[in-house]
Amino acid sequence: MRKLFLGAVSLGALALGIGAAAAQEGILLDAVTVTATKDETRAVEAMAGASVVTREEIRTRAVQRIGTVLDALPNVATQENANDPATAVNIRGLQDFGRVAVTVDGARQNFQRSGHNADGAFFLDPAFVRLVDVTRGPVANVYGSGAIGGVVSFQTVDPDDVLAPGERLSLTLDTTFLMGRQTGILGSGIAAMRPVEAFGALVGLSLRDADDYETGDGTRVADSGQEIVSGIGKVVLDPAPFHRVELSAQLQRFDFANGLGTAREPRRDNEVTTETFVARWGWNDPANRLVDLDVSAWSTRTQTDQRQVSGTAPALGSRRSFEIHTIGADVHNTSRFDAGPVGLALTYGWDAFRDEVTVADPLGSADLFTPSGERTVWGGFLQSQATWGIVDLIGAARFDAYQLSGGTVSSDGSRISPKLTIGIRPIEGLQVYGTYAEGYRAPSVTETLIAGVHPFPAAFSFRPNPNLRPEIGKTIEAGLNLSFDDLFLEGDRLRGKVSVFRTDVDDYIESIYSDPGAPCGDPRVRNACADATFRYDNISRARLTGAELDLTYDARRWFASVSGGTTRGDNRVTDDPLTSVYPDRLALGAGLRFLDEKLTFGGRVTFVAAQDRLPLTAASLKSDDYTLVDLYGSYDITPDARAYVRLENVGDVRYRRFRDGADSPGFVAKIGFQARLGM
């Protein structure tokens, strides 16, 4: 698999003839990204590993979980469990505890619960997502603190996404039926209005009800069904020329049960609720090039309430809860001016957020493994972007600081992280760039304060570490951006991004398990766990290297695709591989359009390599290689109505994604209809 991907990179000229993602099935590189520099630019022109997915793509694919969208991006992977709707994001082998900054309308999603799951996840219904903006690596350090792996920014729908020009009221409806190895229905509706030009509003409701799915060999996966209710409300005001005010609220509720019902893993009913509130004001007068101002404040709360439904009589009905409340603010401005032949854009700003973790477990010890505490993180940045002829230059510096406390333990720190990017456009449509960027991640509350004894029978001790040092990520990246029109045929488009990178992380924080004596849990040895400990500690150095390919070609009547990524990561002290690195992946796609492009047929083949490059202590995580084939078709009945069919995992392959807790679904057919009514 690795040879296959590297061959695709080395034969880039040949790959250009294949292309990458289509306008209806892939990554729209012409879409706008802001995460790389906080200044709007097309993803294909960003001098960084940037990808954007639009609402059109999300709706066309009838996405059930947001991870389906992210997994299609080069060197982006997600960790999900079939019995839990949470999603954790991995970018270039970095994951957990905020290494990848995830935001919804700018609000940080910092939920974390210790257990046999990812240490950092978020809950999001894709029905209300209008745009997914991803930047890989710490080149997005101006976007916020901690993102040494990258940034995933979700934007929710606006009234203008539902209303056509001139309309005052509109309604969109999406309905999808699931058949095959999983049955169920997905439905959502969004109503928007704009009674006057200065005021717009929307409300939306999403309902999802799906049964447990079966794997490719017919094995039922317990608790893999979905029962989700979520809603959104948003108000957009244009109170004066060049001013824009947005007020939004998103509420979600996820009900599910999981657990084996054993003494080690009792069964629990779960109720997860999320609340995200955002207020934003922007001012952009085209006649005033010195002011392009954006101010926002937000609050997000994720709470998991669990009730035990198996076990001994005293434990039945016992409750525990995990809650994280994060509040934050962001202020930034861009000033543009010319200095002779040089065009300059100066962006500067300040941001901060505060995590409050509250865990209650009266009859258990979850409040020790996910300890309560507080962390405040803040910083400011200054970035200068200059364009002179064929040369583009970005120089930036960010100051980060944090304070953390819980019980009798506290810690703090600060640092300045630089960034320098140089790009050259030797011919129209081709850009070569090189970047050096650093990022800074403060330790989380759990990494610093975790304490207690693991439940029987593996009764080892968790140890706090108030001396944890922040991680410092240092990335070198080189890449090509390709953007050509009318290349082979009139009206065709070629878009592409190819990059290679190396990231060194100083003071990388990793969980360290030590058991020098008899194996913990050995029934033949009394107190075998007495010397076994688990804590988070800094290892001196970690290194991740890799490459990415994302090319698109669209000739209108037909399109094709190739994209993929490879990453290798090592602990440079012990020479052991890092357990957080996902396997290589390569995807090829193609399709045809008929009837004035109203009818579309296409398919996608995804090759995923085995992952057995793991330390001995993590050998149980090994995953096998697999190949998936997906087919799809859609017909635009009218400009406002579409019917579609998707056939996923056509080969009914039984497979398990790396680090997932269960096998994935076998063959699933999706038949759906989308409509919009406006007046």
3-state secondary structure 146-195: CCCCEEEEEEECCHHHHCCCCCCEEEEEEEEEEEECCCEEEEEEEEEEEE
pLDDT for 1: 41
- Beta partners for residue 90, in sequence order: 77, 95
* φ, ψ (nearest 5 deg) of residue 14: -70, -40
The first and second tokens of residue 429, run together, are: 């449509």
Q: By the 8 A CB rule, do 168 and 197 touch?
A: no
Burial class (CB in 10 A: 0-12, 13-18, 19+), 300: buried
Nearest to 176 by CA among 643, 579, 635: 643
CA geometry: angle 93, 447, 353, nearest 5 deg: 85
pLDDT along the chain (679 residues), means of 10: 38 31 48 73 86 88 88 92 89 91 91 75 90 86 80 93 93 96 95 94 93 95 87 92 92 83 78 92 94 95 90 83 93 92 94 91 74 90 94 94 85 92 96 95 87 74 87 95 93 94 93 82 78 85 94 94 94 89 96 95 96 87 95 95 96 94 94 94
Whole-angstrom distance, CA of residue 477 vs CA of residue 500: 6
Residue 109: partners with Cβ closer than 8 Å, 6 or more residues away? 102, 103, 122, 124, 300, 302, 326
Strands annotated E in 198-308: 199-210, 226-237, 243-258, 268-284, 292-308
Three-state DSSP class for 666?
A: coil
pLDDT for 9: 34
- The amino acid that residue 397 corresponds to is A
Identify the H or E element spanning 17. Answer: helix 12-18
pLDDT for 518: 81
The first and second tokens of residue 182, run together, are: 């999983």
3-state secondary structure 343-370: EEEEEEEEEEEEEEEEEECCCCCHHHHC
CA distance readout (Å), 341 to 140, 388, 391, 550: 27, 6, 11, 33
CATH for the stretch 2-309+316-678: 2.40.170.20
Task: Give 561-591 pLDDT, tens digit per residue.
Answer: 999 999 999 988 888 899 899 999 999 999 9
pLDDT for 560: 94
How does strand 319-339 pair with strand 668-678? unpaired
Cis amide leading into 464 (omega within 30): no
* φ, ψ (nearest 5 deg) of residue 105: 55, 35
Whole-angstrom distance, CA of residue 540 vs CA of residue 545: 17
Report CA torsion sign: 477, 478, 483, 489: negative
Residue found by looking up tokens 């690596």 in the block: 137
pLDDT for 528: 79
Instruction: Find the farthest-apart pair of alpha carbons in the chain and give their distance in angstroms, rounded.
Output: 81
Identify the H or E element spanning 332. Answer: strand 319-339
Whole-angstrom distance, CA of residue 355 vs CA of residue 277: 15
Q: How many Cβ atoms sit within 10 Å of the Cβ of residue 383? A: 23
pLDDT for 10: 36
* Model pTM score: 0.90
